[in-house]
Structure 1
C-alpha cells in the first residue's frame, strides 16, 4: 500500500491511499495520523473498504509530505558517509570508535517539513547540501510507546518507509558543532519527506538474510548522478534504530526515524571530503532522490533568506553577587 497526503486548488487537503494512478481518501474522515495510530493490520482493512473507489487522478493533485511527524530522529548509520563528511565538516576523515558502539542520532525540526516538489528556503550559506536517506514511520503495534523495545518488538512498529532529504548548510553546521552541540541551525530550516509512505510489507522482498533492506538509492543534481548506494550498507538494520531510540525513552505512532545519509555520494559533503570539486547547491538547482521500491522525491533550491543579525556573546564579569 502507498499512503499519502495531497491537496487540489479547489479542495481541502486529503489523506488516503494511492491506488494505481489515482488517489482515494480514507473513509470516515480518517487522517494519516489516525491510520498510524491503528497500525498496519488495521490499515489493510481500511484499504479493502475503499480499494474499488473511483478516486481522483494522481496527476490532478499536489502531494504533500506524507506524514506530519510527532518527532524526527535522524541517525548517522552509514560508515562510508561518516568517513567522507567528517573530513568536509571537521577537517579530518575518521570514524571514531564510539560510532561502532551504537546508532547515534539527533532530533531535528518537525515544523519545517517540506513535501514533494516544495522548494527549500535556505539561510545564507556558501555550502548548501542535500542528504539522501530512507526514513521509517512508526505505527501502532504491541509495545509501541513503551521503553526499551527489543529489535523484534521494534520491527513490529515499523509501519512503512518514505524518502528523506535532510537539507544542510555545511558551513553553519561546522561552526556550531565546534561548540559540541548540534547540528542545529545548519539543519533545521528544511527537511523533505515523500513522495508517500510505502507500507513495510511491500518491501519485505528486499530484506536480506540479516534483516537489512537491500534497496538501491540514487541522488541526482539536475541530470547528473552524484551518488548511489544500497541501503543495506548501513551499520544496523532499521528496526534496531527504533529499538535504540526507545532505550529509556519512547517511540510513538507518527515518529519518523531517518537512516542517516547513504554512502558513496549520498550528499555533496561526503564527496567534498574525498576531494570532489562539485559545487555547493545554488538557487534553482533541482535535487532528485530515487529509492527502489519507494519512488522519487524531488526538491528545488529556493532563494537564500537572510535572518536578522544577532550580536555575539557579551563579555561578562563573572561576579557572584549583585
Structure 2
C-alpha cells in the first residue's frame, strides 16, 4: 500500500487530501471521498456523511493517525476500492506526512566517519554505544517539487542529505525492538537539508544542530507500507541536475529501523504521526564529497521501492534577523 497527500483546487481554495493506492500502477483513491460514499451506502445523509468523513479523514495524515484503527480500517478499505467513484482528482503532491514530531538519527557509520573527517574532528565512541539523534523542526517540512527556502543566515555550503524516513502509526513508550514493527506505518524518502556553515558554527557551542537544519526538510513522494519492501536492503541514489552524486544502501545501517523506534520511545512518548530519519547514508551528502549545491540546482533523492523526491534549491531572500557578536564580560572560573 502506498499513501500520499495531494493538494486539490476547490471553490474554497486549496485542500489537502489523503490518497492511497494498492500497488504503484493502481489509481489514487481519495480516502475521504471513499469513506463518505461508504457512509451514504449505509444510510447516512450526504451532509452527515461529509461531516463524518471530514472528521475521520482530515487533510493531515498525522491527525488522521490519532484516530487509530478506525482510520486504518478506512485507509485499507479505500486501497481496495475498485469501483472508481472515489478516484482522486488531479492535484500536486504534498509531503505525505505532516509530522507531529521529527527525530533524525546517525545510523550510518560511513557517514559519521566521513563527516567527522571533513569537519576536522574525530569519531566519538558514543556513536557506537547509542543511536544518536537530534530533534528537528516538524513544521518546516516541504513536499515533492517544492523549492527549498535558502535561510538568510547561510552564506554558502548548502547541502542535501539522503535518508530513509520512518513513519510512526501508533504511539508508545518504552517500545522494544521486537515490538517496533506494530508501530511503523511505512517508509518514505527524506532529505534533511543542511546549511553547513551555520551548522558547524553553532555546534561548537555544544548544542544543536538547530538553525543549520530547521529551515527546511523534505519527504515523499509517498509512504510505502512494510509489506511491500525490506527497509534494510534498499538502493539509495542522489542526483543533482541529473548527475549522480551519491549511491548507497540501507543494508549498511549500523542501527536497525526497529532499534531506532525503540530508542526514540525509551522513557519518553513517541506519538502517532511522528517521523524518524535514518540519518545520511555513507557518501550521501555533498559535504562527504567536497561538493555543495547552489541556488537553482535540482536535487533528486531516489530510494528503491519508494520513488524519487525532487526539490529545487531556492535563492537567498535576505529576510530575517541575524545576531551581532556580543563582547565577553566574564572570565572562566
Q: Give the structure-1-normalised TM-score.
A: 0.86
| Structure 2 counterpart of 1:236, from 249, 255, 271 | 255
| Corresponding residue of 1:115 | 143
| Structure 1 counterpart of 2:172, from 138, 141, 145 | 145
- Cα distance, 1:118 vs structure 2: 0.4
| Corresponding residue of 1:78 | 108
Residue 130, structure 1, aligned to residue 160, structure 2: yes
| Corresponding residue of 1:194 | 220
Matches within 5 A, 1:289-300: 289-300=301-312
| Structure 1 counterpart of 2:270, from 251, 263, 266 | 251
Mapped partners of 1:247, 1:237: distance in 2: 15
For structure 1, the 5+ residue unaligned runs are 208-212, 273-277
CA contact (8 A) 1:83 1:270 kept: no
| Corresponding residue of 2:285 | 267
- Cα distance, 1:49 vs structure 2: 4.4
Residue 47, structure 1, aligned to residue 65, structure 2: no
For structure 2, the 5+ residue unaligned runs are 36-52
Mapped partners of 2:75, 2:304: distance in 1: 26
| Corresponding residue of 1:96 | 124
CA contact (8 A) 1:139 1:157 kept: yes
- Cα distance, 1:219 vs structure 2: 0.6
| Corresponding residue of 2:3 | 3
- Cα distance, 1:67 vs structure 2: 1.1
| Corresponding residue of 1:210 | none
Mapped partners of 2:330, 2:294: distance in 1: 44
SS of the equivalent of 2:289 reads: helix
| Corresponding residue of 2:46 | none
Q: After superposition, what is the alpha-carbon deviation per residue over 1:22-46, rounded to whole angstroms, capped at 9, x for unaligned?
A: 3212122313235433557963553
Q: After superposition, what is the alpha-carbon deviation per residue over 1:117-162, rounded to whole angstroms, capped at 9, x for unaligned?
A: 000011232100000000101012xxx322x221012222011111
The number of residue pairs the alignment matches comes to 297
| Structure 2 counterpart of 1:161, from 187, 196, 205 | 187
- Cα distance, 1:250 vs structure 2: 1.4
| Corresponding residue of 1:18 | 21
Q: Bigger CA drift: 25-34 or 70-79?
A: 25-34
Q: Could you say if the C-alpha distance between residues 41 and 221 of structure 1 is closer, same or farther in structure 2, counting changes exceeding 3 Å?
A: farther
Q: Give the structure-2-normalised TM-score.
A: 0.83
CA contact (8 A) 1:40 1:139 kept: no
SS of the equivalent of 1:22 reads: coil
- Cα distance, 1:316 vs structure 2: 3.8
SS of the equivalent of 2:116 reads: helix
SS of the equivalent of 1:270 reads: helix
| Corresponding residue of 1:214 | 233
